[in-house]
Amino acid sequence: MKYIFLIPAFALLLISATCNRNGAVTDDCVDSSKIDKAAACIEIYQPVCGCDGKTYSNSCYAENYGGVAYWEEGACEDRE
């Protein structure tokens, strides 16, 4: 009986996660107060896909040059 409630909850979780991955930029994706163009980022290519759908060279660039609040490992093109 308790599994009846888990199935719709799990389905809702999957749907909401999918909606954000399809290029929809949420309000909390970019925080302009995080942008610091004077930051010294290491020139190591470890691409990350920002929540804004842009690929950044690494997480330092995503946060300091894009103001991105969260990202996933790998280039955005690899996610499609």
50 pairs with which residues across the strands? 71
Position 20 in a domain:
no
Q: Is residue 37 one of the residues assigned to a domain? A: yes
pLDDT score recorded for residue 32: 93
Q: Please determine, for residue 11, whether its predicted confidence score (pLDDT) is greater than 50.
A: yes
What confidence score (pLDDT) does residue 16 get? 52
pLDDT at 40: 95
The 3-state secondary structure of the chain reads CHHHHHHHHHHHHHHHHHHHHCCCCCCCCECHHHCCCCCCCCCCCCCEEECCCCEECCHHHHHHCCCECCEEECCHHHHC
* The one-letter amino acid at 44: I
- Taking only the tens place, the pLDDT of each residue in 69-80 is 999 999 999 766
The Cα 39–Cα 53 span in angstroms is 22
pLDDT tens digits for range 18-60: 444 555 556 799 999 999 999 999 999 999 999 999 999 999 9
In a domain, 2, yes or no: no
Number of domains in the chain: 1
> pTM (2 decimals)?
0.63
Q: Domain containing 80 — which CATH number?
A: 3.30.60.30
Find the domain containing 41 and state its range. Answer: 25-80
In a domain, 64, yes or no: yes
Q: Is residue 11 part of a domain?
A: no
